[in-house]
Structure 1
Amino acid sequence: MKIYFPIILFLVSLSIQAQKVYSVKYENQADIKVFVVNYPNQADLKVYKVTYYNQAKNNNGLWFFTKYANQADKKIFFVEYANQADLKIYFVNYQNQAGWNDVAKKHLMY
């Protein structure tokens, strides 16, 4: 039984696509460059910041910002201009508003 527990835990962790992110200080430390747009229709992804890490499930725009880089699934850098970004996001006020506008860029957050 003790042998099966780590295997099951590993398989479960593979199936969950958590969106734990960490905002880095320098561009070269980032996995993805992000720009925050002014309107939801300009965004590739509408993001809702959740309070607890276990609320950030799947690749659907529910992000949990970690305190440390090694806790994150993705390290992001906020750029100053839209043309510098890999991904354009818009922060929404409600969890049910989060989601992808441009599913072609969905692979960036896996």
Structure 2
Amino acid sequence: MAKILVAALASKADASVFEVPFETQADLCWYELPFRQQAEGDAQWCFVDYEADATFKIFRVKYATQADIKTFKVKYPEQAGWRNKAHRLRGQIG
């Protein structure tokens, strides 16, 4: 399950993330779920408030060159998934 915590410090995160403006620029397209019980795999995310609840911690960066992973939020769950199949974080988030 991809329960995501947005870390306040880069040193506390598992990966740095940059949200790209277009789907074609993304390594991973993700869909946000309202309940953490529904979240599964790398592409369906549910944001949590506590570190103990998180399966993966991210730190949002200002520039794409600083990011470990470039992401794009999609409107429908069917659109979510990896666009870069060879990415080193594939299978590590969820």
Query: TM-score scaled to structure 1, two decimals?
Result: 0.79
After TM superposition, the structure 1 = structure 2 runs for residues 28-107 of structure 1, keeping only pairs within 5 Å, are 28-59=11-42, 61-105=43-87, 106-107=90-91
The alignment status of 1:109 with 2:77, answered yes or no, reads: no
After TM superposition, give the deviation of residue 58 of structure 1 in Å.
Answer: 2.0
Q: In structure 2, give the amino acid aligned to 1:23.
A: V
Alignment partner of 1:109: what SS?
Answer: coil
SS at match of 1:53: coil
Considering Cα pairs closer than 8 Å and 6+ residues apart, tell me whether 1 or 2 has the greater RCO. Answer: 2
Q: What is the Cα deviation at residue 108 of structure 1?
A: 4.2
Instruction: Name stretches of at least 5 consecutive residues in structure 1 with no aligned partner.
Output: 1-17
Q: Does 1:26 align with 2:28?
A: no
Greater strand share, structure number: 2
Larger helix proportion, structure 1 or 2? 1
Cα distance in 1, alignment partners of residues 2 and 35 from structure 2 = 11
Deviation of residue 109 (structure 1)? 2.1
CA shift digits 1:30-73 (9 cap, x unpaired): 011000000000000001110111111123x1000011111000
Q: What amino acid is aligned across from residue 76 of structure 2 in structure 1?
A: Y
Whole-Å Cα distance in 2 between the matches of residues 107 and 92 of structure 1? 19
How many residues align? The count is 92
Q: CA offset at residue 103 of structure 1?
A: 1.5
TM-score using structure 2 length? 0.92
Taking the aligned partners of 1:88 and 1:108, their CA distance within structure 2 comes to 15
Uncovered stretches (5+) of structure 2, i.e. residues with no partner: none
Distance in 1, matches of 2:85 and 2:5, equals 22
